């Protein structure tokens, strides 16, 4: 065991115990079983923010630009995640989904998505007719659609915890510490000092997977990040016992290419519940899941950033409609009825919410692809929105390869 004085020198410290950080911890430990690695998470449990509040969908990779990091890692990561779930008994179901066009104007975008799916190597993908939509989802109405058979659902919290367990089993000297928030770093000769709410740690290398706090953590580490994380809250409704029979598995609309979100959809979860949503509204607190949650710091950072206002002005009508739906069950139901016309008010009840971290440029454009950058022996995952949970094992593998190629950890 290498120490400096009485303090352990960790070979690597991973900051952030969401599924991306934990998958990176697992992948690093798998490649370097003799290395001492520390995973730090500020919350009392792992996967308590974006991972634990997302839709639980194993994404196929159909939506993403061919050749992009999202497209490559989503397809690779999905296959590896499903294999991992099968091997380790993680609750999941590769149940497939339908993407449904309800208007003629949506057909060109549906065809574009189909072409992207073919280019990205999506298996079990085919065009379906209005009649076939009814056969798959009897209460859903559309004029054409896509069947995406490799899409599924999974318990992402369970997967995260299993990865941490397996990593620690590979080397009992490695650790997962929850309830310990990283405050910043300082150089300490050949190592870096990681300062936390519970003390400090010497590290030869650091991998930051800080999600909603990724830009702040990068700046606290001395990295120059021009963009800024802006949070968007997504509110869900849940189908009541009366409404549940109207959805079998997953139903998605054709996404509007003018906006960066997939639109309100229906998802059967691994616990047997069925969610519908989310909307997408600017949040005044990065880690706030209530409609009125507020943070002075988060609000100040977002509203004094020019990119936020440019985004607002570019999407003014869309944003207003999203906010109206956030506070109106009637309007939310109206949107859901585009896909399931027979849905009634007592078929849905208010559900949970999640917050999505988006890296936003000063021009008001969201950084679309994953972004991982290296600064010396430090690696920062700066942008990992959906489908990062699906792609987590592939992202972790990419980070391992970066550490090898740059000699950060060595073989």
Detail the DSSP E strand segments found in 318-410: 348-360, 371-375, 378-383
Is the predicted pLDDT of residue 292 greater than 70, yes or no? yes
* DSSP code, position 249: S
Is the predicted pLDDT of residue 75 greater than 50, yes or no? yes
Q: Which residue, among 340, 366, 357, has the nearest Cα to 234 in the 3D structure?
A: 357
Distance CA 163, CA 356 (A): 23
* Residue 256 or 160, more confident: 160
How confident is the model over 6-24, as a mean pLDDT? Answer: 94
Count of CB atoms situated within 10 Å of the CB of 157: 19
How confident is the model over 148-177, as a mean pLDDT? Answer: 98
How confident is the model over 201-216, as a mean pLDDT? Answer: 97
Does domain 3-50+157-226+369-405 fall under CATH 3.30.428.10? My reply is: no
How confident is the model over 197-218, as a mean pLDDT? Answer: 97
The residue whose two tokens read 């590979």 is 170
Is the predicted pLDDT of residue 8 greater than 90, yes or no? no
Secondary structure tally for the chain: helices H, strands E = 11, 23
Distance CA 386, CA 180 (A): 26
Which percentage of the chain shows pLDDT scores above 70?
A: 97
Q: Which residues contact 377 (CB under 8 A, 6 or more apart)?
A: 192, 204, 205, 206, 408
Give the pLDDT of residue 380.
97
* Predicted confidence band of residue 256 (pLDDT cuts 50, 70, 90): confident
Distance CA 256, CA 103 (A): 12
How confident is the model over 59-75, as a mean pLDDT? Answer: 97
Token reading at 19: 């599924």
Give the pLDDT of residue 307.
96
DSSP-derived pairing of the beta strands 250-253 and 228-239:
unpaired
Is the predicted pLDDT of residue 66 greater than 90, yes or no? yes
Is the predicted pLDDT of residue 192 greater than 80, yes or no? yes
Count of CB atoms situated within 10 Å of the CB of 328: 11
Distance CA 120, CA 128 (A): 19
Domain boundaries, the chain: 3-50+157-226+369-405, 94-151+228-360
pLDDT tens, 309-352? 999 998 888 888 888 888 899 999 999 999 999 999 999 999 99
Is the predicted pLDDT of residue 281 greater than 60, yes or no? yes
Q: Which residue, among 248, 288, 280, 241, has the nearest Cα to 264 in the 3D structure?
A: 280
DSSP-derived pairing of the beta strands 228-239 and 274-277:
antiparallel
Q: Which residues contact 407 (CB under 8 A, 6 or more apart)?
A: none
Distance CA 62, CA 120 (A): 7
Give the pLDDT of residue 319.
83
- What are the CA-CA distances from residue 178 to residues 57, 157, 159, 338 (Å)? 26, 15, 17, 43
Total-model pTM = 0.95
Strand partners, 235: 353
Give the pLDDT of residue 408.
67
Is the predicted pLDDT of residue 410 greater than 60, yes or no? no
pLDDT tens, 348-371? 999 999 999 999 999 999 999 999
Is the peptide bond preceding residue 387 cis, with omega within 30 degrees of 0?
A: yes
Detail the DSSP E strand segments found in 167-325: 175-178, 182-188, 191-196, 199-203, 206-208, 228-239, 250-253, 265-268, 274-277, 281-282
Is the predicted pLDDT of residue 276 greater than 80, yes or no? yes
Is the predicted pLDDT of residue 1 greater than 50, yes or no? no
Distance of CA 34 to the CA centre of its chain: 30
Mean pLDDT taken over the chain: 94
* DSSP code, position 43: S
CATH of 94-151+228-360, one of 3.30.1600.10, 1.10.3720.10, 3.90.380.10, 3.30.9.10: 3.30.9.10
- What are the CA-CA distances from residue 379 to residues 14, 175, 176 (Å)? 9, 19, 19
Token reading at 209: 């997977």
**SS3 label, residue 118:** helix
How confident is the model over 257-279, as a mean pLDDT? Answer: 89
Give the pLDDT of residue 257.
82
Distance CA 140, CA 284 (A): 35
* Residue 234 or 411, more confident: 234
């Amino acid at each position: 065991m290498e120490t400096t004085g009485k303090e352990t020198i960790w070979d690597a410290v991973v900051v952030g115990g969401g599924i991306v950080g934990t998958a990176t911890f697992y992948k690093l430990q798998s490649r370097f079983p003799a290395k001492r690695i520390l995973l730090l998470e500020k919350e009392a449990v792992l996967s308590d923010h974006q991972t634990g509040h997302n839709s639980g969908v194993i994404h196929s990779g159909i939506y993403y630009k061919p050749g992009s990091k999202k497209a490559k890692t989503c397809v690779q990561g999905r296959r590896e995640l499903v294999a991992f779930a099968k091997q380790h008994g993680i609750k999941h179901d590769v149940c497939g989904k339908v993407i449904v066009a309800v208007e003629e104007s949506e057909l060109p975008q549906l065809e574009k998505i189909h072409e992207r799916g073919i280019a990205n190597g999506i298996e079990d993908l085919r065009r379906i007719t209005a009649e076939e939509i009814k056969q798959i989802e009897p209460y859903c109405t559309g004029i054409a659609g896509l069947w995406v058979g490799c899409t599924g659902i999974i318990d992402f919290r369970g997967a995260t915890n299993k990865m941490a367990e397996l990593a620690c089993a590979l080397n009992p000297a490695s650790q997962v510490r929850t309830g310990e928030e990283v405050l910043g770093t300082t150089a300490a000769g050949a190592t870096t000092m990681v300062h936390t709410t519970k003390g400090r740690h010497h590290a030869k290398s650091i991998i930051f997977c800080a999600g909603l706090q990724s830009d702040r953590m990068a700046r606290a580490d001395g990295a120059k990040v021009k963009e800024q994380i802006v949070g968007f809250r997504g509110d869900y409704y849940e189908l009541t016992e009366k409404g549940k029979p109207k959805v079998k598995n997953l139903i998605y609309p054709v996404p509007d290419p003018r906006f960066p979100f997939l639109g309100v959809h229906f998802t059967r979860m691994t616990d047997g519940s069925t969610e519908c949503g989310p909307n997408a509204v600017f949040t005044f607190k990065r880690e706030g899941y209530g409609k009125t949650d507020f943070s002075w710091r988060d609000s100040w950072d977002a509203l004094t950033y020019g990119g936020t206002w440019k985004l607002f002005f570019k999407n003014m009508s869309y944003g207003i409609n999203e906010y109206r739906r956030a506070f109106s069950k009637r309007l939310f139901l109206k949107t859901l009825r585009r896909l399931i016309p027979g849905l009634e008010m007592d078929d849905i009840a208010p559900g949970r919410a999640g917050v999505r971290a988006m890296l936003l440029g000063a021009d008001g454009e969201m950084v679309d692809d994953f972004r991982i950058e290296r600064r010396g022996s430090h690696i920062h995952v700066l942008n990992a929105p959906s489908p990062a949970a699906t792609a987590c094992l592939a992202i972790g593998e990419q980070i391992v390869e970066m550490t090898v190629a740059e000699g950060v950890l060595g073989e």
